[in-house]
Amino acid sequence: MIDASSVYVIEVMFVGTVILVALLAALITVGLERQRHELAGIRRQIESWAEEDLEVKRVKLAPQISVPDAIQWLDTCAARAMGSEPGIVRFPVEAPYGAPKVLAAENAEGRRFLLSAHTPDAIRRIPSPGRWPWSRSRLSRFGSNLHPLVPLSRRVETYQLSTLNCGIAFDLEASQVWKRLTGEDLKMKELWLYVLPKAKG
């Protein structure tokens, strides 16, 4: 038969052990939280340093940026964004078009690729007077007084071109190409590529 005093001692030891485990867990939690904050601070410092280093490199790189072949430049950027080379052979096809302004490119099959500084959401907010002539213009040449993106069809593929998928000098290159082809400064650091559906035979 177990002595009552022994049971009491065991219970006290058990409670004491539970308390010690709880205190240890609390200390570990506090330590981990402090470590997490320290690591987060180090991460922010590294990110800040990386951004500053990248900007310094970009400033040094800017005077050297030159895009002599706009066709090759757009085809390369489009390939990186789309995952496959579109084979653009003409860019621009005609003078900068409409409002919002777009630059049109074309591949050997006659498929249209439109370059714009306007996001899909911004284009969707543009009111359109009628659907029939606008939708028809997407399947052929741009008609007079018709805009190929308004309203924005669900069949139009959209790709964002930026430094994330087109290289650290993309915005510098894009600004140069946009200025040369439109005569206007590019205020955005990214462009949008709209790929129109293939024209029906």
Write out the chain's pLDDT in tens, 201 residues.
Answer: 445 565 455 566 666 677 777 777 777 887 777 777 777 777 777 777 776 777 777 777 778 888 889 999 999 999 999 999 899 998 888 777 667 788 889 998 888 899 999 999 988 887 765 544 444 444 334 444 567 777 788 889 999 999 888 888 888 899 999 988 888 898 888 999 999 887 665
Residue 51 buriedness (CB in 10 A; 0-12 / 13-18 / 19+): exposed
3-state secondary structure of 93: coil
| pLDDT, position 143 | 47
| 189 DSSP 8-state letter | S
| pLDDT, position 38 | 76
| pLDDT, position 141 | 44
Contact residues for 165 (Cβ-Cβ < 8 A; gap 6+) = 80, 81
Torsion angle (degrees, nearest 10) of CA 66, 69, 70, 76: -90
113 in Cβ contact with 74 (< 8 Å): yes
| pLDDT, position 161 | 94
The residue assigned the tokens 């955005």 is 188
User: What single letter denotes the amino acid at residue 177?
Assistant: V
| pLDDT, position 77 | 94
User: What single letter denotes the amino acid at residue 196?
Assistant: L
Residue 115 buriedness (CB in 10 A; 0-12 / 13-18 / 19+): buried
